[in-house]
Amino acid sequence: MTTLIRTAMAMAAATAFQVSHAQQGSGGELGTITVEGSRDASGLHLQESSGTASRLGLSVRETPASVEILQQDTMQQRGARTFSEALRGMAGLSGGGPPSSPTTLSTRGFTSLMYLYDGVRGSGAGVTNRVQDTWNYERIEVLKGPASVLDGEGAIGGVVNFVTKRPDRSNPNKEALLSYGSYGSTRAAFGFGGALGDASAYRLDYSRNDTKVGTIARNGERIDHFTSGLMVDFGGSVKLDLSFDYLREDNQAYWGTPLVPASFATQPTSVVSTPDGRVIDRRLARSNYNVPDDENSSETYWLRARLTGQLDGGWSWRNEFSANKANRVFRNSESAVFVAPASIARDQTLITHDQDFWLNRFDATHKGTLGGMDNRFVVGGEYSETRFGSQRRFSNGSAATANLLRVPVFAPYIAPFNDSLALTTGAGNRTNTTSNVKVASAFVEDAIKPVRGLTLVGGLRHDRTEVDRGIADLNLGSYTRFGTSYRSTSGRIGAVYDITPDSSVYAQYTNATLPVGSLFLLSASNAAFPMSRGKQAEVGFKQSIPEAKLEWTAALYKIELDNVLSRDPNDARNTVNNGRQSSRGVELSAVWRPTREWTLAGNLAALDARYDTLIEVGGVSRVGKTPPNVPERVANLFATYRPEGSKFEYFASLNRTGHMYTDNANEIRINGFTTLDAAVSYRMRNALLTFRVRNLTDKLYATWGGRATSQVLLASRRTFELSARFDF
């Protein structure tokens, strides 16, 4: 880490010297430019292009899908410090995830989201996607619904693309951020960039986020994030966009608050409801039963290079190379189960990740006509490889181990992690695993306008995936090696019709594939099953009404997922993958400026998600039940008031999240909740000062299921923050 910081500082100093020297050599001086005014962070960005939804350069309005773009200014205005906070304000997204997979969000009835960085997919999902500060990113784009046709397996609920701040020769700005909040939380960031020589540009950004969730003991996270960009114009239309990023994350982890019998609770709450009367006791709401010497760290290095060029006849080409290396350590007591009369049963887990990933993608695009009709066409292919190693240590379920790890409910002392091998005896509790995943893909996409106002969009992708796994069981002294391969084809067809120049209606059908579990942690039994397959039908409407200063979108959809793991209806001892789940729903988003002083924005998502076929152990059917951690109602409202001629700005946001369940049986219900945030900002010459209150009403609520039958993750209570944003 020290070496990296020194290198980054040296790069920044050298770059600053070169820029300053170039300015002095030209005899020019940069005068002070002051821009007065307020930020306008609203809008649905219907005219902007989204590389997440299409590689054809289509605008959001031209795309036959539900696409949402969240700009950096909007994130700042809403006070979104991390990705999870930013995404929870978008239509239909909710949740947050445990420390092992903190970016696990729910949308459209599924928790399977794919994450891209500057349009390039990472490797896997869940634990491989870590918490990141929003400062380093220009915008976040979300494509709702299955999207394997664009980026391969894993995208059933949707795709999230995080776009970093890029070099810009015409915008040589410098910016910084400082904030201080409740319980000693701090945040500091800076960024600068501009022209470099006659044909290049650079950008450097660094953020440090040290958040203390003081409402729960020993709970917080520290994020160091460095992103950089170098753009070089070689002339003749050939350009290189180079990035080197670094992310370090260290957490004091909180894994959940245990449910207790109502007879034990002296301060019962309405956070959860269960058939057996278990509740969250307010006396335990601040307790953290994780080991005090826990470790939850992640370190990632990422290199990306994008080379583009133009050819004659309307052709352009692009080659993208991406490589990252990540190391992660999770050393915790993850489970907290109440045991009568007054103790907490815990476990111990130690997991490490050593991951190397690289990807290369090439595509060629043509813009012109086909049979006299406007046509855009792209064809390409990509190849990626992931090497993944993991050490996995789990405490066994013996009575001796349970007694050793158990602590009192109101424990003045939580025992530290116990490294004794005696706690990890038994098959599968002490293993070293390796995985090698290779994916080769070919894709094509086309958009044609057969008549005025009508755009037809289609796409096709074929993936060939090879998985090689090795599992060494140190307790049994055994080594197992196995492999499998998958062949999958995904497609999308859609149409957009412009009713007027400012309004359009669309329809689309698309499908996707999803591994049965993680490809990195695939078991020998699951390797025999084909991938799950999803499909979606969607119709929608997008409109701008300039005279009313109103933009709004609506989407209706239905998603079905087949090949879900289930039990054999004729023999519940056997696992098969004939399960099915589905969801159908509606999403609405709008931005309205009724006056020059007021801006109102909001979204609403309502859905019906269920298991259509699912049998669990013992032959118990879950047909008709709602999948875990899926709220069926989510709504957000944002209001901004900027008095005419005033340097003040007032902001408020209201979130309503409906109830959800933590288990397939739907017996543990997390009740719905409503939260309110508020902020007031004051514009100075070069700074924006903001005082913000999160969870203004001090609501006690849970955001995620955690352990399905024993505990839930409580959200942070009311906190305060004072920040200063500087522009130079």
Q: Is the pLDDT of residue 28 over 50?
A: no
Token pair for residue 97?
Answer: 């995830």
CA torsion angle 214 215 217 221 (round to 10): -50
Q: Is the pLDDT of residue 522 over 70?
A: yes
Q: What confidence category does residue 281 fall into, taking pLDDT thresholds of 50, 70 and 90?
A: very high
pLDDT in tens, 419-446: 999 999 999 999 999 999 999 999 999 9
CA 617 from centre of chain: 32
With respect to residue 540, please indicate whether it lies within any of the assigned structural domains.
yes
With respect to residue 26, please indicate whether it lies within any of the assigned structural domains.
no
| CB-based contact 316:55 (threshold 8 Å) | no
Burial string for 585-602 (b: 16+ CB within 10 Å, else e) reads: bebbbbbbbeeeeebbbb
Q: What confidence category does residue 368 fall into, taking pLDDT thresholds of 50, 70 and 90?
A: very high
pLDDT of residue 560: 96
pLDDT of residue 121: 82
With respect to residue 669, please indicate whether it lies within any of the assigned structural domains.
yes
Residue 614 domain boundaries: 12-18+37-727
What is the pLDDT averaged over residues 318-332?
95
Say if strands 550-568 and 186-196 run parallel, antiparallel, or are unpaired: unpaired
- What CATH number did the domain enclosing 552 receive? 2.40.170.20
**Look-up of token digits 């990705």:** 83
What is the 8-class DSSP label of residue 619?
G
Token pair for residue 55?
Answer: 């590689």
Length of the chain: 728
pLDDT in tens, 584-608: 999 999 999 999 999 999 999 999 9
Rounded to 5 degrees, what are φ and ψ at 548?
-100, 0
Nearest partner of 18 among 190, 185, 196, 168, judged by Cα: 196
* Percent helix / strand / coil, the chain, rounded to 5: 10, 55, 35
What is the 8-class DSSP label of residue 400?
H
Give the number of other Cβ atoms within 10 Å of residue 651's Cβ: 21
| Spatial distance between the Cα atoms of 546 and 591, rounded to a whole number of angstroms | 11
Q: What confidence category does residue 521 fall into, taking pLDDT thresholds of 50, 70 and 90?
A: confident
Token pair for residue 362?
Answer: 């090439």
The SS3 call for residue 325 is strand
Beta-bridged to residue 152, according to DSSP, are none
Q: Is the pLDDT of residue 377 over 90?
A: yes
594 Cβ contact list (under 8 Å, min separation 6)? 549, 600
Q: Of the ranges 82-86, 459-463, 522-526, which is most confident?
A: 459-463
With respect to residue 324, please indicate whether it lies within any of the assigned structural domains.
yes
pLDDT in tens, 232-247: 999 889 999 999 999 9
Q: Is the pLDDT of residue 36 over 60?
A: no
Percent of the chain clearing pLDDT 90 (strictly above): 77
| Spatial distance between the Cα atoms of 396 and 392, rounded to a whole number of angstroms | 13
| CB-based contact 728:174 (threshold 8 Å) | yes
Token pair for residue 60?
Answer: 């959001």
For residue 669, CA distances in Å to 355, 660, 663, 701, 714 come to 36, 6, 8, 12, 14
pLDDT in tens, 326-353: 999 999 999 999 999 999 999 999 999 9
Q: Is the pLDDT of residue 4 over 60?
A: no
Domain count, the chain: 1
With respect to residue 31, please indicate whether it lies within any of the assigned structural domains.
no
Say if strands 104-106 and 94-96 run parallel, antiparallel, or are unpaired: antiparallel
Q: Is 397 left (phi over 0), alpha (psi -120 to 50) or beta?
A: alpha
Q: What confidence category does residue 458 fall into, taking pLDDT thresholds of 50, 70 and 90?
A: very high
Q: Is 629 left (phi over 0), alpha (psi -120 to 50) or beta?
A: left
Give the number of other Cβ atoms within 10 Å of residue 158's Cβ: 27
Q: What confidence category does residue 128 fall into, taking pLDDT thresholds of 50, 70 and 90?
A: low
Helical H runs in 258-308? none
Q: Where are the beta strands (DSSP E) in 333-453?
A: 336-339, 343-346, 349-370, 373-394, 407-408, 430-449
What is the pLDDT averaged over residues 70-86?
94
| Spatial distance between the Cα atoms of 414 and 411, rounded to a whole number of angstroms | 6
| CB-based contact 87:104 (threshold 8 Å) | no
pLDDT of residue 588: 97
| Spatial distance between the Cα atoms of 304 and 324, rounded to a whole number of angstroms | 9
Q: What confidence category does residue 172 fall into, taking pLDDT thresholds of 50, 70 and 90?
A: confident
Q: Is the pLDDT of residue 666 over 90?
A: yes
Q: What confidence category does residue 692 fall into, taking pLDDT thresholds of 50, 70 and 90?
A: very high
With respect to residue 402, please indicate whether it lies within any of the assigned structural domains.
yes
Q: Is the pLDDT of residue 33 over 70?
A: no
| CB-based contact 520:541 (threshold 8 Å) | no
| Spatial distance between the Cα atoms of 335 and 100, rounded to a whole number of angstroms | 13
419 Cβ contact list (under 8 Å, min separation 6)? none
| CB-based contact 360:121 (threshold 8 Å) | no
For residue 553, CA distances in Å to 66, 546, 607 come to 8, 14, 17
Type of residue numbered 423: L
More confident residue, 43 or 109: 109
With respect to residue 70, please indicate whether it lies within any of the assigned structural domains.
yes
More confident residue, 57 or 5: 57
pLDDT of residue 6: 42
Q: What confidence category does residue 99 fall into, taking pLDDT thresholds of 50, 70 and 90?
A: confident
Give the largest CA-CA distance in the chain.
85
Average pLDDT, the chain: 90
What is the pLDDT averaged over residues 382-400?
95
With respect to residue 527, please indicate whether it lies within any of the assigned structural domains.
yes
Nearest partner of 363 among 446, 243, 458, judged by Cα: 446
Of the candidate ranges 220-224, 572-576, 686-690, the one whose mean pLDDT is the lowest: 572-576
Nearest partner of 544 among 45, 39, 42, judged by Cα: 45
Q: What confidence category does residue 488 fall into, taking pLDDT thresholds of 50, 70 and 90?
A: very high
Q: What confidence category does residue 1 fall into, taking pLDDT thresholds of 50, 70 and 90?
A: very low
The SS3 call for residue 599 is strand
